[in-house]
Chain A
Amino acid sequence: MTNLPLATSFLQSESFIYVLYIIAFALFIQGLRGLSGPTGAVRGNRIAAVGMGIAVVATLLNPGEGNWGLIALGIALGVAVGVPAARQVKMTAMPQMVALFNGVGGGAVAIIAWVEFRNHGSTYGSHLALRTFESGPFVEHAIVRTGALPTYVAIFSVFAAIVGSVSFWGSNIAFGKLQEIIPGRPISLGSAQQIVNLVLLILALAAGIDLVSGAHSELLFIGMLIVAALLGNAVVLPIGGADMPVVISLLNAFTGLSAAATGMALNNPALIVAGMIVGASGSILTNLMATAMNRSIPSIVAGGFGGGGAVEGAEGAGEHQGTVRSTSASDAAIQLAYANRVVVVPGYGMAVAQAQHAVRELTKELEARGVEVSYAIHPVAGRMPGHMNVLLAEADVPYDQLKEMDDANPEFQRTDVSLVIGANDVTNPAAKNTPSSPIYGMPILEVSDSASVIVIKRSMNPGFAGIENELYFDPKTSMLFGDAKSAVSEITAELSAL
């Protein structure tokens, strides 16, 4: 049992490489710790990037490494696509960007599993396993040379293939919806949807089990990838735009777990740790988003929001229909100018209209007049976790003016004017008052506690959930109809003319 590779070069020894991987994942964790506040976050991100650089270098040090030209080609392609995309993407398009990156990650995992299978298929007990075990921290040449690849390697690999394929296609559909290539409305097979999903899941699992237990058929493997791809489509297509924050988080968790599984199959600690952290992050976000909508994750995955329940809600809304008071930009400006405290409640409408800069201009004008301004942000406002915060940060809104829901709600009682910009369901009092409402129980921003409310909205159309908003019929609410950006700009103009 002589470990010749160990002796030849220290830098290429498996232990040294292993230590580099440990440093890499330690830096990932340290980097993410920086994200606990805005001050350390930039540094944290760069620390994680350094960790990534170390992990890549460690891998390239591997004695068996080859195909340098192709590696350079792949990296060059990735840089050519990734760098301009990251530099040029608009902040309003961040949800699409994250969905796309997510999909790409899932795709990489699925491809890696496929190539692994292509190698195991002919020679069960591949060179990869040989090499990994040969000079690793554990000495076990004999077992690998004589026997097959351990079953668990095949299990993790097949798992990674299924989950990677689901998240590749799911994320691409999510991207298509967010980019409005595909309609954002739920597209579903109706009641058959859940059965179809279940059948696809069972088919994928059956193929996986067959492969793990020794079916050396690449056709079956490709079939499994395709079934998983169909499943990814079938799960995300029926999901409506308002549920996107949950879906994106869930797909994020999936890609993370698939990377961890790849790490288990390749016996690579950096992959395992990084994958699990991403998986944990995605799971936490999924849970937060689902809680903020008062919906269970299974019910979101099972089908769109815009279905049966929402129609009932719209009909039920007839009961409390009163008069809607419409206002003008000049009246709104006067109302805001004489307020002591104004809370801005942004929603997806602000993102669509790209109104964040206009909003910032308005609040600057108000602050110049001595009005105290803050922003109340619902966790699911927009299309992904933290969407509104990024837009407002882009427009230079100070971090400490951005209030999370729990901090914002007690403040509404001493607020003179709540300015709702393109937010709908997250302000609907029906979530508190109307047990029959489909959104009953969902935590909301309690804007109706404030002395008066101005709602900037395109029209009286209900939001994505298809539910009438009681807030609009409240006597203290006035509606300013129009595109968020032009409406806000008009108010600002009126305000400076006062």
Chain B
Amino acid sequence: MILASILTTNLAILVLAGFIGFVVISKVPNTLHTPLMSGTNAIHGIVLVGGLLLFGLAELDSFSKALLVIAVAFGTINIVGGFLVTDRMLEMFKSRPKPKASEQDSAGEGKPGTDGKAGS
């Protein structure tokens, strides 16, 4: 009975989180789907917490410890890599000059130009 309460509470969190996830993610436009994927990669890095929790166990042999170092490293890659690369991408989407006139102002400053010529 008591055990069921932990399980059922967690199940309730699980189900509600699933519904909230669907609602929130449905509002993300197609244009932002790549940053969404890298952003969710970063959030998936929460598994780092799992690795850290297990490091708190009293009886860990050296093999388990070695495994956990890898798990922690993996989780950290997810977190720092994911958030950084998402930030990089989203900055590109943000720095939009809105009116058409200002676009042409910024036309000259581009390294893109040199890229284009290199190809021809």
Name A residues whose Cβ lies closer than 8 Å to a Cβ of B.
Answer: 25, 28-29, 31-33, 35-39, 41-42, 45-46, 48-49, 52, 55-56, 58-60, 62, 64-67, 70-71, 73-75, 77-79, 81-83, 85-87, 89, 91, 94, 97-98, 101-102, 104-105, 107-109, 111-112, 114-116, 118-119, 122-123, 126-128, 131, 133, 136, 138, 140, 143, 150, 152, 248-249, 252, 255-256, 259-260, 262-264, 266-285, 288, 353-355, 357-358, 360-362, 364, 367-368, 377, 379, 384-387, 389-390, 393-396, 398-400, 402, 404, 483, 485-486, 488-490, 492-493
Query: In the complex, how many angstroms separate the beta carbon of A375 from the nearest chain B beta carbon?
Result: 10
B53 contacts which chain A residues (CB < 8 A)? 59, 62, 128, 266, 268
Q: Is the CB of B64 within 8 A of A138?
A: no
Chain A binding surface SS class = helix
A384 contacts which chain B residues (CB < 8 A)? 33-34, 37
A274 nearest in chain B by CB position: B46
| B110 touches which of A150, A396, A486 (Cβ 8 Å) | A396
Q: Is the CB of B92 within 8 A of A393?
A: yes
Q: Is the CB of B112 within 8 A of A83?
A: no
B80 nearest in chain A by CB position: A82
| A108 touches which of B30, B47, B63, B119 (Cβ 8 Å) | B47
Residue picked from B17, B88, B91, most chain A C-beta under 10 Å: B17
Q: How far is the CA of A360 from the CA of B42 in the complex (A)?
A: 30
> Using a CB-CB cutoff of 8 Å, which residues 52-102 of chain B contact chain A?
52-61, 63-65, 67-98, 100
| B49 touches which of A59, A119, A393 (Cβ 8 Å) | A59
Q: How far is the CA of A360 from the CA of B89 in the complex (A)?
A: 17
B68 nearest in chain A by CB position: A115
Chain B binding surface SS class = helix
Q: Is the CB of A62 within 8 A of B31?
A: no
B113 contacts which chain A residues (CB < 8 A)? 357, 361
Q: A285-B33, A379-B30 are in contact. Are A128 and B57 (CB under 8 A)?
A: yes
Query: In the complex, how many angstroms separate the beta carbon of A381 from the nearest chain B beta carbon?
Result: 10
B50 contacts which chain A residues (CB < 8 A)? 108-109, 112, 259, 262-263, 266, 268, 271
- Shortest 8 CB-CB distances between A and B: which pairs? A78-B76, A74-B72, A280-B21, A386-B33, A82-B81, A357-B112, A385-B33, A489-B120
Q: Is the CB of B54 within 8 A of A116?
A: yes
Could you list some 8 contacts between A and B, CB below 8 A?
A: A32-B36, A35-B32, A42-B87, A83-B80, A86-B80, A266-B53, A275-B46, A357-B113
A86 contacts which chain B residues (CB < 8 A)? 80-82, 84-85, 88
Q: Is the CB of B14 within 8 A of A260?
A: yes
Query: In the complex, how many angstroms separate the beta carbon of A7 from the nearest chain B beta carbon?
Result: 20
B26 contacts which chain A residues (CB < 8 A)? 284
Q: Is the CB of B27 within 8 A of A36?
A: yes
Contacts A45-B86, A56-B49 known; 7 new A-B pairs at CB < 8 A: A35-B39, A45-B35, A112-B54, A274-B46, A367-B100, A386-B34, A394-B92
